[in-house]
Structure 1
Amino acid sequence: MKKLIILVLSFFVFACSDNTKKEFSLTDHIPQDTEIFLVSQDIQGFVQELAANDFIKSNKFPLKERISSQLKFLEHLNLNHETGISFSNLASETFTFTITTKKDSALVQLDSVKNKAVETITEGNVDFQRIELNNSTFFLHESGNTAIISNSRQKILDIGNQTKLLKNESFEKAFNASDPNKSSVFIKHNAIEEISDFFNKFNFPNFENFAEWSVLDLDVSGSGFRANGLSLGSSSTKLLEVFSGTTPKNIESARICPEDFLSMYALSFSSFGKLHSNLQKIKTDTTQANYPKVLDHIREIASIQLKNGDMVVLNAVEIEAAKEQLAGIGDPIETYRGSSIVELNTDLGLRKVFSGLLNMKRNKFYTIIEHFILFSNDADVLKKALTDFQNSDVISERSYFNELIGSLSSESSMIFIAQLPEFIEETSENDKSQKLKLKKNSLAALQIISEGDFAHLHGIFSNSENSDVAANGAEQMASIKLDHPLVTNPVFFKNHRTDQMDIAVQDENNLLYLISNKGNIFWKKQMDSQITSPIYQVDLFKNGNQQLAFSTGYNMEVLDRDGNKVKGFPIKFNSALTQPLSVFDYDKNRNYRFVLTQNQRVYMVGPKGKAIRGFDFEKAGSDVIKAPKHIRLGSKDYILVAEESGKLNILSRQGNIRVPVTENIDFSENDWYGYNGKFVSTAPENELIEISQQGQVSTKNLELAENNRVVANDDHLVYLNENQLSIDGNIINLDYGLYTDPQLFEFRKRTLIALTDTQTHKVYVFDQKGKLLDGFPVYGNSPVDIANADLDSRLELVVKGEENEILLYKL
């Protein structure tokens, strides 16, 4: 595992680059003895992601100073093109690295280096340079459009003479299968002893022979890593073929795996007979061709490590038939919580059957939970498993585990899962200097799905500290800290490139940020002043690409998702805008109307930033006191403009009076909504105001307090009256507090109502019947936004945490 750390830390010291198109072949210059190879089109982005990763930031690795010193000179390189890094001799004190990239006159920057020396050397037909920068020495060879950098003179000569280069069919297949848009790492299985040792701690003894090369395409987030790739075998690596002719299955052992487990390694198969036949073909010892017949009824076997012992789990598809095969081979020694614990009087022979694929001790006891047969060398381990299962203290009941598993394929041939803090502490040597800082509930998983002579790989490392709530309850997914306090509420913004949601927010320095839902900052842009309106999501060009539209003190802005100004914007005003921007899309066809207000004047502009002709309402009789509002009732569109005088203008699309309202209205701070075919709002005290589509005004005395808050849509009316929340007439009594306006969110047939008590820092989310969702309240200090922000089926909620913090929750 230390060698994997080398890989990550190597990039931690880079300074770097923009994406370029692939213009040369990296595979022509890779040393033959490469053990790990990493390739990236965009090292700068990769390094930034690594630098923001909590695990990288918070840990001081034993080899960090040596690696940083050895690679310090890389800060003087401009790696502006696709770059590959080969690592060799990783077991030695000084490993060998070889960097391959496109030749560039600006590759090595010497101007800012005080202590430097460059020597040109010719050996045979190879010309190269020996470069000293401060205390670092490396060699540079340029040939054609390729530049080679290494700390090994011999590597430069070998590459220059085109000798001792990696020519391997499995590697080439892996390279061709990697994603060119991601940073990818290639691992030679039989070269890295410590990786093999790491998997051996899972009781998997044959990692080095599982495949010849594996490739993983990497995604780095603020709290973890994800990887997807392939393993490819050769004639000398037969282990991949063990699952040939069998079908991967859903891994179910998590249902009886205690929540405080260390690791779980599970195998699944559609036919044990076929698996056994494949195992016999790769074993040198074929003395035991038979196997216990209970395995004919098994479709999964798992090895689970606990702090106080291990257990092996057989998942039976026919538990009664499996029980019959176990009958007579042991004696019950006690009944614990309704289940018999049986002491075996003969060895089942599971160790020999699975040798080469799964290490296990001889098991003395077994018990049965539903259709699972649990074996252990310690009866107390089985008692704990029974207790935890009955108390639902199993890993499948933990939301952070289900989130991790939800990121993987539903079916596996092999899967490795570790609860990292405990697993590493229990399986590592007692070297305190090497202890890693990992958050509670940090998990790692590697899933293998066999396809004959190759296998799909899916890996994830999650270092986020999530709460232990039920799988369907609210849990914190991310905490994103900015350098300065927030002045707007964080909102979701559609990422049309990933089909997920990013987060937009502004800080007190008027910097607007766009941040991924994993916490990576895409960009920040200086605005002229604070954003005064909601941040609207628009598609001005009707091509699926999303833009951000909003108003500031004097401007209306539209930015694309890269933070660039869209042509025609901003629209600048000499005097301040007095109401927030409104955006109308009457027919949901993306023919947007942007509505801006200055005192009595109302401006309407189109997608190109030009005034809309045919909108005749330009000036009210007195100052406009709310942002103009579009309401659709049935098939009719209305524009509502409220004036300081008490006049409510209900207009047509053309700006003409569509509904004459003769009465003056005592406006409250609440907005107007369309509900039940009418326009509704509240008076400052006591009354709900309703206006029909014919202009008739009526009121209902709801005994509202002065600070009442209302929100509505076509089907639901919600209001907050002091500590009482009314949802369609259903009253929920809340604790007294300082609440934000209630918010309504619609998701297909699901309606959610959210509000935040900023006094106690609690966010509440109710369903339309007034039931508080599981896991709420959660911590927060602002109105929220709710959306399906990632690729799973659960919703996410974003809210302000501390003054400079964004919190992301999963519902």
Structure 2
Amino acid sequence: MGKIFQKSFALLVFSPIFFGILGGCDKTPPKTGTLMDFVPQNAAVVFKISNFENLRDDIDNNSLLSKFEKTAPYDFFIQKKVLLQNLRPSSQSLLCINQINDSLTAYTFISGLTKNLFRTDSLQNRTIESLILDGHTLQRITLDKEVAYSTIIDSVFVISSSQQLVQDIINRKTERDETFKKVFNLPSSNGFTAILRGRKVALNDSTKIAFTSWSALDVAIAPESIKATGITLATDSIPQLLNVFEGQVPQQNDISALVPTDAIGALSFTFNDAEKFQKKLRNFRDEKDAAQTTGIFGSVSEVGSIHFKEETAIFIKSIDASLTGDVLARYVSEKTEFRDIKIRSFSEPALFEKTFSPFINSEAANFVLQLDNFFVFTESEVTAQKIISDFQNNNTLRNTSYFENTATDLSTASSLLILKMKGEFSEAISGFFNEKSNKEIDNISFEAFPIAALQFSFDRNFAHVTLSCKEAGAGAIRKTGSVSEKFAIKLESAVLGEPQLMDGHNGHSNIVAQDMGNKLYFISENGKILWTKNLGAAVLGKIEEVEISGGKHIAFVTKDAFHILDRNGKDAKGFPIKFKDNVTQPLSVFDYDNNRKYRFVVVQGKELLMYDQTGKPVKGFSFGRAKSEIIHSPVHLRMGNKDYIVVAEESGKINILSRVGKTRVSVSKTFQFSEIPVAEEDDSFVVITKENTKERISQDGKISSQKLDVGSNYWFAILGNTKVTLDDNKLRINGKLAELPLGLYTKPQLFTLNRETFATITETQEKKVYVFDKDGKILNGFPVYGTSAAFLGQGNGKNSKYIVVKGDSDGIILYSSN
């Protein structure tokens, strides 16, 4: 954002707030008009106050203003409080602030003379002197080195910290500006109105720019928020930036859909006639020659900038993205691609500064990318990738509760919208007063105030103004979605299969993945590659996690070997076991009694081999060979106090065995097995056939059939008491429908964390990862970007979850969700 808006934000937004510390407010002011004649010349701000005492209480109770107790503005009020707090106006009063010089501010209080308005009798350590100036009597009041000057003119009481200002008021050297009178007399529905003089504000070290003339804002100070609404006027006598919006119809501000939550500020301005808007900007800059137009902005309705600590990005929003893309084509060249979004080089990096200065002052629009109807221009590829990630992961302002709360005060369409985030408004505030405040403000935490918004909507010859700054509760400060990208990492070649999460030591998790070079990677939750191992072949199916001799291990098979590795990538004793014949199914791991006395089952065609954790064949297991190919990894199911091992054959035969491999349930019927493994439901064996028939087999071998009214891509899975089904885009969890957008989806998977069950599923065309709870409700912050089925695991914290998924073809992404 240009420096003009850093300064104008402080002037137009926080002047009323922090100069308000010097005065009082509330209730609707009576319309007198007489007090206006006593306002000193060149007042920076004039406060109209109906209830001085109420305002003092409101300021004391406001959680934002109280943070500035030790800063220069607040300290200024503290030094004057003995005098100001002894004022007891019973009708409307004015508090005027004049900036005498860079380091000196003076106040003037004006009110109709009433009984007990200002009683000095009870003040201790006071000195009162009478002075005669220009035939008027005034009092010089000294109290603990604090000096003020008071007088009475035509039944109006005036007290000021500046003798010169009182003398000027006596001599009628008061504010005569016609625009000031106009805004002063505007009707108000509030008891506290701030009238602000439009100043020239610094654009850079040598240039100042006039933004507006006078503003009148009704200020509402609540314990947890500050809100101001009103109007601002610009005059034609001198160039003022607000006037460039004349004749433009405010358009919808969609910037919140694009701004990442960790940005520190953003600006959006809109127009419905780009050519007219650019012409007015050129006139404002006093440019005689019309700049050559590129035609890029003809189909654009919103332009703006996004500020990070180290860089500024620029965006335009198009009403016809294909048309804007066509016009941009001559200025771009292929650069790279990130998560299916092209990042291109842009040959006109100074275009936006030339076209939209002083709104945009960046000359480094080096790269361009497109996100829906937004075209975003960045200084670096790193920032381009960050904006893409945050947009795809819904990690933007629109998805936060605190912006949603602030947006209730704002119009959906405006001419100019300024956002300050992460407490960055503090720098603008302190810089407006003096350098001393900068140091005093450094240690103030603004975490509870994540955003302040200032909005202008031009309407004929004036603009509506809205300011909103609200405290967010501890839960609301976090992103509504509370999902963040913990890291993204690239492997040496494309990811093979799907990355998985493994429980690690001391509550930490690890990621295990393989690339197309058959290299196995073991990665920490912070994205560090702990070790790699060349396997020489692809892992079949899922990698299993086991605990042997008190240590965490991983177990899996390739086509020619059975591996068990410890957490350092070392082979367990007795492993790997090499095979001459090919392994044809993923490894099965049985832990019958949950006592870590594992049985590892390896399938080679028709043959089934069972090993213990030392790599030795299990003696006494009698089922050695099926009559036809085994088409699924064998499954262990426990019903009541009985264990069952289920082996499905290509012929349609189902073998339901005991622990020792003998037939435990005889089934006479054969089935057309689908890819869905045999599962247990309600103490029965469930087979989903290729014909979408649900076959139930009781423990005594009885069979019942149910024809399912589902599509061809139906899937069924069950974990404990949670069942999930997918039928096209209809996801049901325990019978509760979660209707998904139309698309192509991975098989839903179930995971249990901290006794809660969750389902994950990925739409592979739009590359969106969804996570649902057992009641079918999507978790906040999802979907996020991903290109594979997602694996869910325990995060670093009781309520924290990790989600690992493939990103680009060679990339892995780990998300953290609270």
Quickly name the TM-score band, shorter chain normalised.
0.5 to 0.7
Q: Aligned residue for 1:60?
A: 69
Unaligned runs of 5+ in 2: 1-6, 483-732, 735-773, 781-818
Q: Which has the larger radius of gyration?
A: 2
Residues of 2 paired with 1:249 and 1:99: CA distance?
A: 41
Which secondary structure does the structure 1 equivalent of 2:199 belong to?
helix
Residues of 2 paired with 1:16 and 1:248: CA distance?
A: 33
Q: Is the 8 A contact 2:400 2:480 kept in 1?
A: no
Q: Aligned residue for 1:30?
A: 39
Q: Aligned residue for 1:215?
A: 216
Q: Aligned residue for 1:456?
A: 464
Residues of 1 paired with 2:20 and 2:232: CA distance?
A: 24
Residues of 1 paired with 2:326 and 2:61: CA distance?
A: 56
Which secondary structure does the structure 2 equivalent of 1:173 belong to?
helix
Which secondary structure does the structure 1 equivalent of 2:166 belong to?
helix
The one of 438, 441, 449 aligned to 1:434:
441
Alignment of 1:310-389 (within 5 A): 310-347=312-349, 349-389=351-391
Alignment of 1:638-649 (within 5 A): none
Residues of 1 paired with 2:20 and 2:396: CA distance?
A: 38
Amino acid at match of 1:299: S
Residues of 2 paired with 1:18 and 1:397: CA distance?
A: 36
Which secondary structure does the structure 2 equivalent of 1:270 belong to?
coil
> Could you report, residue by residue, the CA deviation over 1:59-101 in whole angstroms, capped at 9, with x for unpaired residues?
3343133442134311222122211111112544332211110
Which secondary structure does the structure 1 equivalent of 2:54 belong to?
helix
Which secondary structure does the structure 1 equivalent of 2:104 belong to?
coil
Q: Aligned residue for 1:578?
A: none
Q: Is the 8 A contact 2:239 2:284 kept in 1?
A: no
State the shift of 1:136 in Å. Answer: 2.4
State the shift of 1:469 in Å. Answer: 8.6
Q: Is the 8 A contact 1:126 1:161 kept in 2?
A: no
Which secondary structure does the structure 2 equivalent of 1:216 belong to?
strand
Residue 132 in 1 paired to residue 139 in 2? no
Amino acid at match of 1:227: A
Residues of 2 paired with 1:27 and 1:378: CA distance?
A: 53
Residues of 1 paired with 2:392 and 2:297: CA distance?
A: 26
Q: Is the 8 A contact 1:6 1:67 kept in 2?
A: no
Amino acid at match of 1:442: P
Q: Aligned residue for 1:183?
A: 192
State the shift of 1:108 in Å. Answer: 1.6
Which secondary structure does the structure 2 equivalent of 1:301 belong to?
strand
> Could you report, residue by residue, the CA deviation over 1:715-737 in whole angstroms, capped at 9, with x for unpaired residues?
xxxxxxxxxxxxxxxxx99xxxx
Q: Is the 8 A contact 1:417 1:445 kept in 2?
A: yes
Which secondary structure does the structure 2 equivalent of 1:259 belong to?
coil
After superposition, the Cα gap between the structure-2 partners of 1:355 and 1:48, relative to the gap in structure 1 and judged at 3 Å, is same
Q: Is the 8 A contact 2:365 2:378 kept in 1?
A: yes
Residue 169 in 1 paired to residue 141 in 2? no
Q: Is the 8 A contact 2:48 2:94 kept in 1?
A: yes
> Could you report, residue by residue, the CA deviation over 1:250-286 in whole angstroms, capped at 9, with x for unpaired residues?
1112212111111110011112122122223323123
Residue 267 in 1 paired to residue 274 in 2? no
Residues of 1 paired with 2:84 and 2:349: CA distance?
A: 58
> Could you report, residue by residue, the CA deviation over 1:397-449 in whole angstroms, capped at 9, with x for unpaired residues?
11211221121111110000111425647997895432233124521010000
Residues of 2 paired with 1:285 and 1:14: CA distance?
A: 44
Which stretch shifts more, 68-77 or 300-309? 68-77
Which secondary structure does the structure 2 equivalent of 1:54 belong to?
coil
Provide the aligned length of Structure 1 versus Structure 2: 474
Q: Is the 8 A contact 2:402 2:476 kept in 1?
A: yes
> Could you report, residue by residue, the CA deviation over 1:220-239 in whole angstroms, capped at 9, with x for unpaired residues?
11122000011111221342
Which stretch shifts more, 409-418 or 430-439? 430-439
The TM-score, its normalising length taken from structure 1, stands at 0.54
Residues of 2 paired with 1:374 and 1:9: CA distance?
A: 36
After superposition, the Cα gap between the structure-2 partners of 1:260 and 1:131, relative to the gap in structure 1 and judged at 3 Å, is same
Residue 40 in 1 paired to residue 49 in 2? yes
The one of 455, 460, 472 aligned to 1:447:
455
> Could you report, residue by residue, the CA deviation over 1:526-558 in whole angstroms, capped at 9, with x for unpaired residues?
xxxxxxxxxxxxxxxxxxxxxxxxxxxxxxxxx
After superposition, the Cα gap between the structure-2 partners of 1:468 and 1:343, relative to the gap in structure 1 and judged at 3 Å, is farther
The one of 78, 89, 92 aligned to 1:79:
89
Residues of 1 paired with 2:148 and 2:185: CA distance?
A: 30
State the shift of 1:120 in Å. Answer: 2.5
The one of 127, 131, 134 aligned to 1:121:
131
Q: Is the 8 A contact 1:20 1:80 kept in 2?
A: no
Alignment of 1:505-584 (within 5 A): none
Residues of 2 paired with 1:102 and 1:411: CA distance?
A: 42
Alignment of 1:695-714 (within 5 A): none
Which secondary structure does the structure 1 equivalent of 2:85 belong to?
helix
Q: Is the 8 A contact 2:29 2:48 kept in 1?
A: no
Amino acid at match of 2:457: I
Residues of 1 paired with 2:38 and 2:83: CA distance?
A: 21
Q: Is the 8 A contact 1:15 1:74 kept in 2?
A: no
> Could you report, residue by residue, the CA deviation over 1:625-667 in whole angstroms, capped at 9, with x for unpaired residues?
xxxxxxxxxxxxxxxxxxxxxxxxxxxxxxxxxxxxxxxxxxx
Q: Is the 8 A contact 1:400 1:467 kept in 2?
A: no
The one of 251, 276, 279 aligned to 1:277:
279
Residues of 1 paired with 2:127 and 2:222: CA distance?
A: 39
Q: Aligned residue for 1:252?
A: 254
Residue 97 in 1 paired to residue 87 in 2? no
Residues of 1 paired with 2:327 and 2:51: CA distance?
A: 58
Residues of 2 paired with 1:255 and 1:15: CA distance?
A: 38
Q: Aligned residue for 1:70?
A: 80
State the shift of 1:461 in Å. Answer: 1.1
Residues of 2 paired with 1:153 and 1:308: CA distance?
A: 47
The one of 166, 182, 193 aligned to 1:156:
166
Q: Aligned residue for 1:724?
A: none
Residue 146 in 1 paired to residue 156 in 2? yes
Q: Is the 8 A contact 1:262 1:418 kept in 2?
A: yes
Identical positions, percent? 20
Residues of 2 paired with 1:348 and 1:154: CA distance?
A: 49
After superposition, the Cα gap between the structure-2 partners of 1:86 and 1:66, relative to the gap in structure 1 and judged at 3 Å, is closer
Alignment of 1:575-724 (within 5 A): none
Q: Is the 8 A contact 2:108 2:160 kept in 1?
A: yes
State the shift of 1:453 in Å. Answer: 2.4
Q: Is the 8 A contact 1:367 1:374 kept in 2?
A: yes
Q: Aligned residue for 1:226?
A: 227
State the shift of 1:288 in Å. Answer: 4.1
Q: Is the 8 A contact 2:109 2:158 kept in 1?
A: yes
Which secondary structure does the structure 1 equivalent of 2:375 belong to?
strand
Which secondary structure does the structure 2 equivalent of 1:302 belong to?
strand
Which stretch shifts more, 3-12 or 78-87? 3-12
Amino acid at match of 2:469: F
Residues of 1 paired with 2:276 and 2:30: CA distance?
A: 46
Residues of 2 paired with 1:408 and 1:302: CA distance?
A: 18
Residues of 2 paired with 1:18 and 1:302: CA distance?
A: 38
